Structure 1
Amino acid sequence: MAVPSLITKIVRKLTENEFVELVANKDFKFDVERVHKRRLSDVYLVSISFSGGATKRVCIKVVKCDRENDSLFDVNKKKLIHEYESHLLSYNDFDHSSQFCVVKPLAVYPDDLVFVSEAFDDSTTLEDMITKALFFGGSDSVGELETLMYSCGVLLNKYHSINVKNIGDLQGTLDTLKEYILVRIDLIYAFFNKKQKGYSLSRGLGFYQQQFSKVKVDPDAGEGELVIIHGDFTPANVLYDGNTLALIDFSESAEALRYVDVGGFVNYLDMLPLNKPFFSSRKVASLKAAFIEGYCAGSNINHLLVEFYQFRYFSTNMLTQIYEMEGSRLKRLVLHRRIRRYMEMLEGKDFWQK
């Protein structure tokens, strides 16, 4: 495998700063074991061997960015610094155990748009495990995955307990969230009705405006605690090595309601049968229930807010897909069917009666 010059540069920086005690006369070698290509970044798993016999395995994340675009480059630099600081705070404060941990961050090089952490050896993401279990596995593998989903809920609750802040304006948050979703629903309807003849959605924006106006939360329920959220809590950012669940990639970590993380994870699961029709909705529902049960083992949650944050993620994800698929007629047809299925599913949700 051809090794990018940037990776060579970063490994040398690591040996000069993070692993200096292991380097004798700068005698070391390294090997790129594999590369994971993602939409916003590339992640390199690198093994560094030292002359004294020690070996260090690290993950080097390189953010994809147009380096000629100064403003975009600066934004990504700030986000990367924030990610490192959030990750370091979480690592230092988290109650590590044989079951749950936060992967150790090692260094950040903002000018190179690079973030480095220790490798979590012999692990795979929950995303890969879910895909394999639902696509290839039988009831046993799905049952094992339900146990992992329960543990994943416990992991998120442990993470949220690190830094509990003051009580936020729960009703105000919900009202802002409604507006956020309505704007995106309007854009989705506009795209659908403009681009696709022969299909129609049975409702319109007015339906959601009317229904949203009825939905209230109890401001005295004590459920408005602000915590340091992960911000991108999906199965892609949870690793498992057969014994321990490890949390990675704190890309949007900030102080907010815990429902941002819970709703994001639930949305990922609910989108599986929508994006991959051969995945069983019943099995996905069992995974979702196990995750919620695990999270609730440590605290009660407001299921209404979980659903609303789920819609927040869905509407944003759907618009992203619209913009990415608009140029392809075949993809657009698939997308229209997906939109119709999901919007009609939303109309039947029981939270309108809450």
Structure 2
Amino acid sequence: MSDEDELFSWSPDVDPSALDVSTLIMTLGAFIDAGHAQHLLRQSLLSELAHRPLGQFSLDEILDHRDSRPPIIFDENHFEGYETPTITLHEVTDELEQHFLLLDGPEPALRWEGMARAIERIIRQTDVRLSIVTQSIPMAAPHTRPVQVTRWASRPELILGEESPFGKIQMPASFPAMLSQRLAEHDHDVLGLAAHVPHYLSDLDYPDAARGLLDAIRKTTGLALPSHALAMAAGVVRAQISNQVDNSEELSAMVHNLEEQYDSQNGQREIESKHVVLPSADDIGAEAEAFLRAMDTDSDSPSETEDAEGTGDAGNAETTEGTAQRGEVETPEDRHDDEPSTGAGPSAEASGQDEGPDDEGPYRPRHGDDSWHS
């Protein structure tokens, strides 16, 4: 019996090759689950969407119960309420009858490599094209601003052009991080989503973080995932937090400082994201030549018309020349603030990249290879 067969078993009535899925979402708790975002995300998906279990991992093989002690209740003179933890693979159906996989449970403490191989085998058997790892991390962010979600991926195209606020950091490994590296090494597409949770709320339920993860998954995959319950819970939590903050000068000052820091950082990123193309010397010269040719052409016109047109053209040329000398160029955003943009960037096909996500259905990036088991 192989490592994979020993650790994971399919339910007897399940044929993995017959499953019509392309996305695997993982909510495997790590040593940090700020705001309990993974738990809330899993709860939202399984409570609002149809689902069925497909198989389970053997927890006694991969979990150290002393490090991850499940709760139990002592009631006067007896124990009760103990529930055996599980790592379960679910098939979930979204609101448009699209199917995806959800792997949920505690982070394994033992046999990481064996479990990584077992998950890679599940991906191959079900023809999953994109695996999504969800996380949440405590950050210096206020609860009064939108939750930011940092993306990381096995290849840049999956990040959708978003820039990370982090540089190069060495940290203790988690199983989801190690699994992401192993899958990427074997050409499987992996997308990581890390929700930023206000550090002063990291030990509490923070539904806004789970909602941020849900929105990022929808944007990437096209899956129709409901967020009504999370939105209502988030509103209640925000109201409770605001009430406490309003009654504490110390908390109010801290939140105000975090708001200023958040706004400053995001404003700077917005400025840096605008790519303004300045005209070159050749461009300016070509415009000047075109203007002079227009003046020569207009020389045969009646003097009154020539004066009017010459004045207008000269004014425009002077404005253009002055703008060029100052290094200022009007951007499309400046000219059409009230008009919707109709332009589009280079297509994925033209750039040689895989197609990005759309709203028609789950994203289907390139498929991985089988070299792990060759």
TM norm structure 2: 0.23
TM-score for the superposition, normalised by structure 1? 0.24
Q: Which is bigger in relative contact order (C-alpha 8 A, separation at least 6)?
A: 2
Structure in which a larger fraction of residues adopt helix = 1
